[in-house]
Each structure stands twice: as C-alpha cells, then as structure tokens.
Amino acid sequence: MDKANLTPEESLVLITKTIEEVNRKTIEDTKKGIKKGSVIYLTWGFLMFFVTLCQFFIIRFELNIATGFPALLYPLGGLFTFIYWKKTKNIDSSKNNLLGNLLFVLGTLLGANFMIMALFFGPQLGVAFIPVFLILYAFWIIMMGVSIKFKPIIIGGIAINLLAFIPFLIDWQYHFLIITAASVVGIIIPGILLRRDK
C-alpha cells in the first residue's frame, strides 16, 4: 500500500488495524499489570476472608470484642496496596496505562466509600449493608475481569453478585460468612488462577 495515496477503503483498513492493535496492547498491558499486582488482589482476598470470619466468630460466640475491631485491618490493607502500587508503578510501564489506573482508582474509591458506609451509615442500611457492599464490589470485580478478558474473574464477580442476595434470606448473624464465601469464590480462587495464567 502506498502511504501517500491511500484509497478510502485502504485508509479504513489501516485505521481499523491500528485501533485493534492499540486495543489488544492495552488489554495485554492491563492484564500483565494486574497479574503482577495479583499480590494485592490476593492480599485483599485473604484479608477479607480473615476479617469477616473474625467478625462472624465475634457475633456468633458473643465475644466481648467490638464487631468492627477486625475491620481496622482494612486501612492497613489500603496502606499496603498504596505503597506496593507506588513502588511497582514506576518499575513496570504496563501498570501506567489508562485502564490499569482507572481500575486502581475505582477500587480505591469503592474501598473508601465502603469504609464510610460501614462507619457512619451502617445502622441506617441495616440488613441491606452486606448486599449493597457485595453488589458494588461485584461491579468492580466484573469490570476488572471484562477489561482483561479473564473469565475466572468475571465468573467470580458474578458469583459475588449472586451471593449478595443471600443475606435477605438468612439470619443476620451469618451475613459476614457470605462475605467470607465471596472472598474465596470471587477473589482468592480467581487470583490464584490469574497468577498461574500464562
């Protein structure tokens, strides 16, 4: 193809190929960045598992500990995430793409809003708090899976979304176990599969 005299059809083919290549590269770079950042993904999965399991035991066995006490580990998880992301962001250019940064910012905003909802609006939300939390979290997980075209994360997000409706059917004492289950099926298992993905 002579670049000086392209026909309209040749121009369209060239533009289409360029867009497809940029799109493919963006998805590959984002997946590579998320895969390298799977340490963070798995850390949050295990942190959620541990915190919510502790909260369940506090409620179930009527321990003399504030239910929110284990949740104080979440800000430490946020600090770890921020430091890890800052350290690795400049090392690996694949994390400096728009999609990867967008997912990071969205995850950070969701985390901050979850903490605010829990601390200040938990009583007003009542039994709806866990479903609201899980539905919003599922949205982020599904969006991440779709953006990197990784089915286990998409399926994990859908599983979290489905689990979000169970709290309406069970006693409130078991609500934290739903988040524990969601952390396993929606974060830990897909995170391990992501790490092993070639």
Determine the pLDDT at residue 93.
46
The answer to the question of residue 52 being in a domain is yes
Determine the pLDDT at residue 97.
67
Mean pLDDT of 140-155: 90
The answer to the question of residue 2 being in a domain is no
Count structural domains, the chain. Answer: 1
The answer to the question of residue 116 being in a domain is yes
Percentage of the chain modeled with pLDDT above 90: 39
Could you list the residue range(s) of the whole structural domain that residue 22 is in?
Answer: 8-196
The answer to the question of residue 88 being in a domain is yes
DSSP letters for 32-89: HHHHHTHHHHHHHHHHHHHHHHHHHHHHHTT-SS-TTGGGGHHHHHHHHHHHHHHHHH
Is the pLDDT at 180 greater than 90? The verdict is yes
Separation CA 105–CA 96 (nearest Å): 12
The answer to the question of residue 1 being in a domain is no
Determine the pLDDT at residue 55.
93
Nearest-CA neighbor of 198 among 74, 28, 78, 43? 28
Determine the pLDDT at residue 94.
44
Higher pLDDT: 129 or 101? It is 129
Phi, psi values for residue 181, rounded to 5°: -65, -40
